[in-house]
Amino acid sequence: MANITVGISDLAVTNKPDDVIITYSLGSCLGVTVYDPQAFVGGMLHCQLPTCSTEDKTKATINPAMFVDTGMATLLKKFFELGGSKSRMIIKAAGCAAILDQNGFFRIGERNITLFRKLMWKNGIIVKGSETGGDISRTLVLEMATGRTLIRSRGQEREL
SS3 for 31?
strand
Distance CA 4, CA 2 (A): 6
> What are the helix (H) ranges across the chain?
57-62, 68-81, 108-122
Q: What is this structure's pTM?
A: 0.93
SS3 for 76?
helix
Per-residue model confidence as pLDDT tens digits over 107-143: 889 999 999 999 999 999 999 999 999 989 999 999 9
Total Cβ atoms within 10 A of residue 105: 9
Which position has the higher pLDDT, 16 or 99?
16
Per-residue model confidence as pLDDT tens digits over 9-53: 999 999 999 999 999 999 999 999 999 999 999 999 999 998 865
Domain of 9 in residue numbering reads as 2-159
Domain count, the chain: 1
CB-facing half-sphere around the CA of 126: CA atoms within 13 A: 4
- Residue 60 confidence class, pLDDT cut points 50, 70, 90: confident
Task: Provide DSSP, 36-64.
Answer: ETTTTEEEEEEE-BS-SSSS-HHHHHH-G
SS3 for 2?
strand
**Residue 104: is its pLDDT beyond 70?**
no
CA angle, 150 as apex, 4 and 46 as ends, to 5°?
Answer: 50
Q: What is the pLDDT of residue 115?
A: 96
- Residue 1 confidence class, pLDDT cut points 50, 70, 90: low
Per-residue model confidence as pLDDT tens digits over 77-97: 999 999 999 999 999 999 999
Distance CA 62, CA 126 (A): 29
Q: What CATH number should be reported for the domain holding residue 72? A: 3.30.1330.200
